[in-house]
Structure 1
Amino acid sequence: MVAYDQDRPLPDKLSLLTIREAIDRLRIGRSTFYQLVQDRKIPLRKIGGASRVRSDDLDAYIQNLPKMDTPEPEVW
């Protein structure tokens, strides 16, 4: 087993997120998150018995969200 090196800096971006971290990052509810997983919009990865979300998968989901049509600001 390889020991964790505490002197080594952590990466800026975690490559794996817990379910709670993914929910917090998206700012959605738990039920909504699990519906996205069930709809195969966000894939889960298993490590032993733990479920994780790849940061890249979450970023891809966010990038593919439809853009909202916003009206032009009115000039008075």
Structure 2
Amino acid sequence: MKSADDVKKVFHILDKDKSGFIEEDELGSILKGFSSDARDLSAKETKTLMAAGDKDGDGKIGVEEFSTLVAES
């Protein structure tokens, strides 16, 4: 179990454009945020993860949605 601060740090690492959201293109390379030699997610994996994390349906994952997604996994 990660602390809320740890989850927010990871969120900000994954939010490459610093928009305050993780968009679909950033989500595709989420594994590389943890290991530089990791693979990109497939389009299907990306869409599945976006659907799981995007609770309000706006097409992006905010920090609260990300925290919920992490807590559920």
Please state which band the TM-score falls in when normalised by the shorter chain.
0.3 to 0.5
When Rg is computed on C-alpha atoms for both structures, the one with the higher figure is: 1
TM-score when normalising by structure 1: 0.41
In terms of fraction of residues, the more helix-rich structure is 2
